[in-house]
Structure 1
Amino acid sequence: MGLIAEFRLAGEDLALVDVAAGVPEATVEFESVGAAPSGPPEFVVRTVGASREAVEAAFAAADSVTDHSLVVADGDARRYQCRPTGGPPEGLEALANNRSVPDRVTVTPEGWTERRWFADREEFDAFRDFCRTNDYTFRLDRLVEVDDGDGARDAEEPGPFGALDGDSPGPPGMTEPQREALVLAHEMGYFDVPRTASTADVAEELGVTPASCSERLRRAQSHLVAQFRNADSHIKPRMD
């Protein structure tokens, strides 16, 4: 069984974040990363929604990438080649055999928003640990298990709240701290059987007290159950 993870990365030295900050009106996406015989890899980056002058000024002012060059232009969509500056992240060799494939990587002024396929939970954990070892803030937005057969649930199917799950930060009524606690608890194994993380573990990661964490999780789960109850007319209220 594989996994589809949707997550956000933030960090001071993430490539292209300074480019995105220079043209906040544009969409900046990775199209490919190619290995070079020596030195840093080559990025192919697609930009949409800003003038050529503005995009190239942002590339020229950026410290995170160098050697940018226009490859092709189609209207306001352009593809550039560039290279990251600086050395490789610590422990990069640990990901040499990681069975994961990036599906979409969007760069924003705050960091990267990524959707990636993983072979299993072990590979996901290795990737997440690598990010955190290199001081990248890793925030999981969605983790979906998929089968290899016809019964796989596509990650873009409408969710139980009537829209694609990725379209909004959480169910109606759920606060951002509640959503963050719920997603982090799922990521850490709080809901696994057997449980691999305690309330105290999740609280420590969030930087709050166990009591506060417990309250957030209970309220978040209450919102989820209420939304499922409202979305499924086949669930009948209990009558005593």
Structure 2
Amino acid sequence: MGVIVEFTVDDESLLLRDTLSEVPSMRLEIVQDTASRDGLPIFYFWATGGEYGAFEAALADDESVADYELLERLDDRRLYRVKCSRNSFYDAYREAAATMDDLAADGDGWHLRMRFPDRESLREYRSMYEEAGVQITVHRLFADSGGPGDAFGLTEKQREVLTLAHRRGYFARPREVTLEELAAELDVSPQAVSATIGRALETLVGATVASEPGGR
């Protein structure tokens, strides 16, 4: 049976660690993580709770950040795109056939919620951190019931956005609704909708096509 684990990792070597040390009250909610053509991580995230001027100054000085862009500015949060200057090993979960449900970061480290096909794959993934000397703190670990609400490892927000996009004809050709129209209905930015759809589709492919024999 699969397992779901919620844990925190913290180490000076982690991406954006210097930035979050400078502005520890800032919390980053990752809406999409992908990679550039040269294989370097790219994060799209909402930042909340800290002083944005200090945060952006810290991003500019962070050796793990190649460049960043402010995509959306709201009263209580801002959406950023950050390209990292080096790789991190957190994304080895793909090799473990695991699914990332949630990813966030703040002054206490990176907070992850992941699904693993079995306990052995979880042990292998956890040992990767431990062998590198990275502190890992497990908060919750429980069986993956595989109920309807957890189908394919999608988060509630991802299911909501994908369902609306499908119902409104976003995936039709030609499209029957724009990102801007979806964003208005969801009361978020078009960039956030695009990022959520992208991450949800990646999760679906990983749980279906890529998980079949010969799919990797």
**Could you say whether these structures have the same fold, taking a TM-score greater than 0.5 normalized by the shorter chain as the test?**
yes
Q: What TM-score bracket applies, with the shorter chain setting the length?
A: 0.5 to 0.7
Kept in 2: contact 1:17–1:110 (CA 8 A): no
Mapped to 2, the partners of 1:107 and 1:22 lie a distance apart of 13
Q: What SS does the aligned partner of 1:147 have?
A: coil
Instruction: For residue 24 of structure 1, report the CA deviation from its aligned partner.
Output: 2.1
Q: What SS does the aligned partner of 2:66 have?
A: strand
Instruction: For residue 64 of structure 1, report the CA deviation from its aligned partner.
Output: 2.2
Say which structure, 1 or 2, has more relative contact order (CA 8 Å, 6+ apart): 2
Instruction: For residue 86 of structure 1, report the CA deviation from its aligned partner.
Output: 3.0
Mapped to 2, the partners of 1:25 and 1:95 lie a distance apart of 27
- The 1:63–1:8 alpha-carbon spacing in structure 2 relative to 1, beyond 3 Å, is same
Partner in structure 2 of residue 34 of structure 1: 34
Partner in structure 1 of residue 20 of structure 2: 20
Matches within 5 A, 1:1-240: 1-89=1-89, 95-149=93-147
Mapped to 1, the partners of 2:86 and 2:147 lie a distance apart of 42
Kept in 1: contact 2:26–2:107 (CA 8 A): no
Q: What SS does the aligned partner of 2:130 have?
A: helix
Instruction: For residue 34 of structure 1, report the CA deviation from its aligned partner.
Output: 0.7
What is the aligned-residue RMSD (CA, Å)?
2.5
Instruction: For residue 53 of structure 1, report the CA deviation from its aligned partner.
Output: 1.6
Instruction: For residue 114 of structure 1, report the CA deviation from its aligned partner.
Output: 1.6
Residues paired across the two proteins, number: 150
Kept in 2: contact 1:51–1:76 (CA 8 A): no
Q: What SS does the aligned partner of 1:42 have?
A: strand
Instruction: For residue 135 of structure 1, report the CA deviation from its aligned partner.
Output: 2.3
Based on CA coordinates, which of the two structures has the bigger radius of gyration? 1
Mapped to 2, the partners of 1:11 and 1:24 lie a distance apart of 14
Mapped to 1, the partners of 2:109 and 2:41 lie a distance apart of 19
Instruction: For residue 151 of structure 1, report the CA deviation from its aligned partner.
Output: 11
What is the identity, as a one-letter code, of the residue corresponding to 2:85?
T
Kept in 2: contact 1:101–1:117 (CA 8 A): yes
What is the identity, as a one-letter code, of the residue corresponding to 1:140?
V
Identical amino acids, percent of aligned pairs: 29
Mapped to 1, the partners of 2:86 and 2:126 lie a distance apart of 22
Q: Deviations over 1:109-142 (max 9, x none)?
A: 2321221111211221121112223321122121
Q: What SS does the aligned partner of 1:75 have?
A: coil
- Runs (4+) of structure 1 exceeding 6 A deviation are none
Mapped to 1, the partners of 2:34 and 2:143 lie a distance apart of 29
Kept in 2: contact 1:50–1:76 (CA 8 A): no
- The 1:88–1:104 alpha-carbon spacing in structure 2 relative to 1, beyond 3 Å, is closer
- The 1:29–1:16 alpha-carbon spacing in structure 2 relative to 1, beyond 3 Å, is farther
Kept in 2: contact 1:18–1:109 (CA 8 A): no
Instruction: For residue 16 of structure 1, report the CA deviation from its aligned partner.
Output: 1.4
- The 1:27–1:139 alpha-carbon spacing in structure 2 relative to 1, beyond 3 Å, is same
